[in-house]
Structure 1
Amino acid sequence: MADNPEYQSIIIKEKIDSLFQKDKKVCSCCNTFEPYTAKPKFAKARSALGYYITDKIGFSSNLSGSYASRFVICKGCYQRLLVGEIFIRNELSSKLGGLNVYIVPKFLLPSGITPKQLSQWAEYIKFSFNSAKTFMGLEEFNERLEEFKEMETLHNNYSLNLFFWRSGTGAETKVLRLIVDVSPTKFTELTKTTNTIKDVSDKLLGESYRWHIDLQAIYYLIPLRVKESKKETWLEYQKLLDLYDNIFCGRPVSYRFLIDQYIILARIYKFEQFDTYNIKKPERDKDGLITAILKANLFLFYLRKLNLLHEGKVMDYEHLNIAEDMKNFVREMQYDEEKVAMFLLGTLIGAIGNAQYSPQSPKKPILEKITFQGMNRNKLIRLTNEVFEKLIQYKQLPFCETQFYECKRLLDEKVNSWGLSDQENVFYILSGYAYATNRAMTAKRDKEKKVESKEGGEEQRNDN
């Protein structure tokens, strides 16, 4: 019946024609003088097009109750908007950071694209977006890209607008952000950068899905306060959207902003404030803080690779007298002397924490020495002395002596011209702690696997 012309005519008359006035006004979309409607039906539906208000007198012209001069639309534009949103919703909609997003293409010149090509093109755009949103291996990405080779010829003829929105109470629609003129090649660039980070993190931290840095992972690195009400979810979504906006449009990201967010993130894990924020409680408590801080470092690395972060100088790493794996980490993360000093202090805290830890007593009292709000220079000096005493107490100094003295050397060299903020001090201490703890956990898992493999081999020989 849906294909019957008479049936279609009845539906159009009932659903569309009945909305339009006989007199004419200038259409807000195309500027033609046509019969109009000031109350299109999508204003009352759960539609991204219903972002303007036509049911509250305070928003009417001169408080008259009439919305005719606020937003008027002719029948042709109304039909095209309805069809366009249905296509976008079905073919080019997604979610990012818990928010609805429409990927809206904009042609720069007439394209002559056929309906079949349009469907393939939409599939290509959504594939490109999703590959940047959620990790996809580069080999698989390139194989899929071959399927859309024909679509790449259109790159120079369109840009993309990312329309973030959410449904409010009732039929209300909240427009959160419109990110305009995103290059079609941006998603490919982000996907390749994600894979670059994976290659480096696998070498530095051990192979694991935990180190994937993609657009979705960023959401869990930026704490957003949430309301208790389920209907009103996000209070602070703008700072997340600011970050996405900068990434998509190639604008620099504030290093200070990120450090502030990471300190909040650390406190969430330390004090288990998961009910207040968008951060999920980890399945294993001891992994949460470690993974979050190391991923925060990798996200800084991700932004540098995109040339979006410029936060200062580096140093000569060849003269650092520390283990080669640590040297590789601080080199890749582009730490300077002060950051390395804090990182090494953190690794020493990690060594003490590992000595304090047991399955029966999983708490690590040494972490209570870190003030998670921030630590000034005087507190750092006291903490360094306390760490030295604990290394002796827990008989760890023989294993960490070179590390400690390198930390102390760098600290003494820079203490009178210290440039890190109180929050940076804590972040880089936690980075060292997370690195050392992850290394110990990885070594333990590898040892257990070797034992299991050896036992399995012996059982097989006995069976034979």
Structure 2
Amino acid sequence: MFKSLLRIGEITGSGSSTKLPIVKVRTKGEGLLCFVVFDNAEKKVYVEKEKLGEDDEEKYAFIDDAKGQKPQDRLTTKHLEYILGFKEGGEKVKGNKFALEVVRDKLKGGKTRQLLDEVLSWYPSEAEVDIKDDDWECTLYTVRVKTKDGKAIDLATLDDYRRSLTDYGETVKGKCQFCGSDQVLADPAYPGGKMLKVFITDKKGFLSQFGDVVQSHTICPSCKYKLEMGLNYVESKLTTNIGKLNVSIVPDLPPDADAGKLSVIEVSREGYILKGLEQLVRGERDAEEVLQEMVADVRLDLVFGESQQNKFKLWRVIPEVGVPRLVRVVKLMNSAKSKVDVTPDGGKLGLGDVSFNTLYGVLPVRDVGGKVDPKVFLEFLEAILLGNPVDKNYVYSSFLSVIRCKRYDTCTNSLTSFTLEDLVLYQEIFIYVMKELGIMEANTSQAPDQVVKDVSSYADSLGLKGGLKGLFLLGVLTAHVGRAQYNKGDQKKAILDKIDFEGMDYDDVVAYANRLMESLRDYKLLNSYTELLYSEALSLIKSNRGDLSDTQSNVFHILLGYSYQTKVFILSKAQKEEE
């Protein structure tokens, strides 16, 4: 991954010795750019404001604030106190956070040093400071100096200052582990809260072959610059969200790649990782077009994590994901949806598009007090994208835990916003995908495409047979009873309470089938159709007892039949009301 970041940095940082790893500021609505004016003639300090422009971060060299205890050696900041040297209540900031002095001391000469020397000759001791309450509410601040002849100079635009932002400090004899240079940084000092902090940990005495530098990571100034430029590009252009997780996409580009090839890699904002996959789902492009434009041999490292103050919280890296694999998975999700989202009369159940956001929503992601535990989701996603086998029992156990929390209204995953019925149907889509990929179990049960004429042929179209099909049909009958109970005012549908959401073995299923028959009789639902369905279900279950070995799979397939038939009932009612 480091080589990938270096290559991206070479591409994006070429052509300018002072190109910087600019950070874009995220704002809700319009932002304000505030110039903190130091007037040398009047010895006054005040703020001038204007609307934050689209390219102002670049113009005024905003590379984010120094994290943690690192010196604030930058004059464009999100915090006014770093420029003034004191907080809103008057308390002084720590010496290494007073940017004017830190930058002045860092520079050995030049125009910026000269201007800061003049300002600090009278500020703060002799200054008249006119800072209003709303001056503390700007989006971005930068330093403007007015000379005694009235000329306004924005220090962040000066070449010597901008060059200082890529001055990484003292070098010593060693060996850069990337390019082999014999001069390396004594302290790489990567920015806090950045991805590089996770992957590079210095340990004194850890390795000895790097010459005078006794640490595990050695890098020259040039390679560090490229790494930071590459990381900046990834963070600004190739970072998106899946569910509530940040994911950065680091492409491993071929040697002949240029800015044009890099620019075609665009991220999806709708949970598909790549924008080209959105277009594939919407039918705007076919798979061949996506693969051709995306450069099919490019591999992607998916880095899930987020900045937390001075640290970077890493959840998982899914390495070397191929674009063809992504295309195949998305096509399978579409195919599975088309099989699940169909009614016996040729209509649609009304399921929405299926993305990796959907996968996030149907899995047990614990989200309490802003702290997210995405372990299960990332395990599923990694298995799907890399082809790792996943235990069938683990799949049903994970899905059933979400069904339980949905039934009892205890889910903490904010993306589990589906109805119970839709939740189970979406889960079935991903089960179908995992079976087709061959990672859940041997792919021997999938049936060819066929016209869905009734619930039995619908089960066949999903590859359900034997005891699993029998369980599905029991679920269909459960929906009949549930509808009758709902129509009588029981919105929770008491029949569902007869299902043990923790799991049901063969004997439990047979006992439930007997209770279900009683309910069908009590609600006067027995007729030639339901009796035939019940008979087929029981026959399939009893003659294929071995298919019911997984207690949680049993419950899932009953609920799958229930969810499907309930959706059909809901749609049928809606159509009648429209008529």
TM bin, normalised by shorter chain, reads 0.7 to 0.9
Among residues 298, 302, 305, which one is paired with 2:429 in the alignment?
298
Match of 1:162 in 2: 302
1:343-394 CA distances to partner (integer Å, 9 max, x unpaired)? 1111111111111113843121111111110112222222111111111110
The DSSP-based 3-state class of the residue aligned with 2:320 is strand
Q: Which structure: larger Rg? A: 2
Q: Does the 8 Å CA contact 2:503/2:551 hold for their aligned counterparts?
A: yes
Among residues 369, 375, 385, which one is paired with 1:238 in the alignment?
375
The answer to whether 1:214 aligns with 2:347 is: no
2: CA distance, partners of 1:315 / 1:139: 25
Among residues 380, 393, 415, which one is paired with 1:256 in the alignment?
393
Match of 2:416 in 1: 280
Aligned residues: 416
The answer to whether 1:224 aligns with 2:365 is: yes
Match of 1:366 in 2: 495
The answer to whether 1:410 aligns with 2:551 is: no
Among residues 177, 182, 194, which one is paired with 1:33 in the alignment?
182
Among residues 526, 551, 557, which one is paired with 1:397 in the alignment?
526
Q: Does the 8 Å CA contact 1:348/1:404 hold for their aligned counterparts?
A: yes
The answer to whether 1:289 aligns with 2:420 is: yes
1: CA distance, partners of 2:268 / 2:494: 51
Scaled by the length of structure 2, the TM-score of the pair is 0.64
The DSSP-based 3-state class of the residue aligned with 2:197 is coil
Among residues 147, 164, 169, which one is paired with 1:14 in the alignment?
164
Return the offset for 1:166: 1.6
2: CA distance, partners of 1:324 / 1:96: 37
Q: Which moved more, 1:370-379 or 1:68-77?
A: 68-77
The letter for the 2-side match of 1:216 is N
The DSSP-based 3-state class of the residue aligned with 1:372 is coil
Return the offset for 1:245: 1.7
Tell me: CA distance 1:133–1:124, structure 2 relative to 1, closer, same or farther (3 Å). closer
- 5+ residue gaps, structure 1, are 283-287, 318-322, 452-464
1:185-204 superposed matches below 5 A? 185-204=324-343
Return the offset for 1:411: 2.5
1:53-452 superposed matches below 5 A? 61=204, 69-108=215-254, 110-111=255-256, 113-115=257-259, 117-118=260-261, 120-123=263-266, 129-131=273-275, 137-142=281-286, 151=293, 154-156=295-297, 158-168=298-308, 170-204=309-343, 206-207=347-348, 210-226=351-367, 228-230=368-370, 233-235=371-373, 237-275=374-412, 277-282=413-418, 288-311=419-442, 314=445, 324-358=453-487, 360-398=489-527, 399-415=529-545, 417=546, 419-449=548-578, 451=579
Tell me: CA distance 1:315–1:207, structure 2 relative to 1, closer, same or farther (3 Å). closer
Match of 1:457 in 2: none
1:74-101 CA distances to partner (integer Å, 9 max, x unpaired)? 2011110111112112222211232221
1: CA distance, partners of 2:445 / 2:336: 19
Q: Which moved more, 1:23-32 or 1:328-337?
A: 23-32
Q: Does the 8 Å CA contact 2:363/2:402 hold for their aligned counterparts?
A: yes
Q: Which moved more, 1:87-96 or 1:27-36?
A: 27-36
Scaled by the length of structure 1, the TM-score of the pair is 0.79
Q: Does the 8 Å CA contact 2:266/2:276 hold for their aligned counterparts?
A: no
Return the offset for 1:10: 1.7
1: CA distance, partners of 2:537 / 2:253: 56
**Misfit runs of 4+, over 6 Å:** 3-6, 124-128
1: CA distance, partners of 2:352 / 2:442: 22
2: CA distance, partners of 1:207 / 1:159: 36
Q: Does the 8 Å CA contact 2:175/2:182 hold for their aligned counterparts?
A: yes
The letter for the 2-side match of 1:426 is V
- 5+ residue gaps, structure 2, are 1-57, 62-109, 112-156, 207-212
Return the offset for 1:12: 4.8
Q: Which moved more, 1:194-203 or 1:125-134?
A: 125-134
